[in-house]
């Protein structure tokens, strides 16, 4: 564990976990993701939570992207730049979570804007296609296309890959691909990554501590919308991190109250076994992707500040946050992006 991670969660974050157990966990048990109305309602609930309890969007600029690579692959997403962000020497490539079916760059815009503001870097958030309309490997292929598009603009060594939840699985899948591994991206940052798509690890942990947001049995129903029809032992679903290419320097943060803490622990062990460098932080009493919910979890700010320092160290830039105008490394940019809303 990293020095500075508290021994116990704050009263507010522990209260939020209790409230989630009484509400969100109960709703996830009764909303059928296989039915169109259940999936629609689940999407509305998650989007509402992210907006209500996420960080401020004040001053953030958003630029929508819809383009194609020379080989015809489509890339959809958005650039998010926090206030004062002018750096062009490095970027963050963000892969949102969603159980492959729920979220989008829009739902995660508050956290990507915060990440941009804290790191001083533009964040490209890829808008991969969702299940159940688009099943495996569509999302993974879209994530690869987004990365390939970025590398046409900036050296891979200046790209930090980040993802949360199922986006963590997609990010690791990306970095295990031989061509991407050989390109040597700068670093990997993961919030509550999902690694075991069978949820066996999560179920084992759930027997010791109940996840406040969702049961393993309900989560797997959602993920099956993406994986249905594919053998779960497929190499891009059951990721061989310990036996694959060495991942970039990695920071993993997970909540101590969530079942996916078990996935985070397994992934950290596998990265180390492969010869990689990994720092694992399990924040006591925190819920799934607590970093996106600073109005519920005061610890989110401290965790994100640590992420910003990790990114700066990985890129060897020495400082974090937006560059001041007139800095020798600052570059003037036209404000073509729309103001966030």
Which residues are the active-site residues?
165
Our measurement of the distance from residue 193's CA atom to the centroid of its chain's CA atoms, rounded to an integer in Å, reads 7
Q: Which own/partner contact pairs does 11-19 have at CB distance under 8 Å and 24+ positions apart?
A: 12/296, 12/297, 12/298, 13/285, 13/286, 13/287, 13/290, 13/296, 13/297, 13/298, 13/299, 14/285, 16/287, 16/293, 16/296, 16/297, 17/212, 17/257, 17/285, 17/286, 17/287, 18/212
130 in Cβ contact with 48 (< 8 Å): no
Tokens of 202: 């999560």
Cα–Cα distance measured from residue 185 to residue 314, given in angstroms and rounded to the nearest whole number: 10
């Amino acid at each position: 564990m990293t020095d500075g991670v508290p021994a116990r969660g704050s009263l507010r974050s522990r209260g939020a976990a209790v409230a989630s157990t009484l509400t969100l966990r109960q709703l996830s048990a009764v909303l059928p993701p296989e039915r169109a109305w259940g999936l629609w309602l689940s999407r509305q609930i998650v989007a509402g939570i992210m907006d209500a309890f996420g960080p401020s969007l004040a001053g953030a600029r958003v630029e929508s992207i819809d383009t194609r690579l020379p080989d015809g692959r489509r890339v959809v997403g958005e650039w998010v730049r926090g206030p004062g962000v002018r750096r062009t020497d490095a970027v963050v490539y963000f892969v949102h979570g969603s159980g492959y079916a729920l979220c989008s760059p829009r739902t995660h815009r508050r956290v990507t804007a915060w990440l941009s503001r804290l790191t001083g870097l533009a964040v490209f958030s890829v808008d991969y296609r969702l299940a159940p309309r688009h099943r495996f490997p569509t999302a993974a292929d879209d994530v690869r296309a987004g990365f390939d598009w970025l590398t046409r603009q900036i050296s891979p060594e200046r790209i930090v890959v980040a993802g949360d939840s199922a986006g963590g699985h997609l990010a690791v899948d990306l970095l295990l691909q031989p061509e991407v591994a050989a390109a040597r991206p700068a670093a990997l940052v993961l919030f509550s990554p999902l690694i075991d798509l069978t949820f066996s690890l999560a179920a084992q942990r759930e027997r010791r501590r109940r996840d406040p947001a969702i049961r393993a049995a309900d989560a797997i129903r959602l993920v099956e919308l993406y994986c249905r029809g594919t053998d779960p032992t497929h190499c891009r679903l059951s990721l061989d991190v310990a036996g694959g290419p060495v991942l970039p320097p990695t920071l993993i943060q997970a909540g101590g109250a969530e079942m996916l803490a078990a996935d985070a622990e397994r992934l950290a062990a596998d990265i180390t076994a492969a010869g990689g460098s990994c720092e694992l932080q399990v924040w006591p009493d925190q819920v799934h992707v607590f970093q996106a919910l600073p109005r519920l979890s005061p610890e989110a700010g401290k965790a994100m500040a640590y992420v910003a320092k990790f990114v700066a160290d990985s890129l060897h830039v020495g400082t974090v946050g937006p560059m001041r105008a007139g800095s020798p490394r600052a570059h003037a940019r036209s404000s073509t992006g729309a103001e966030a809303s």
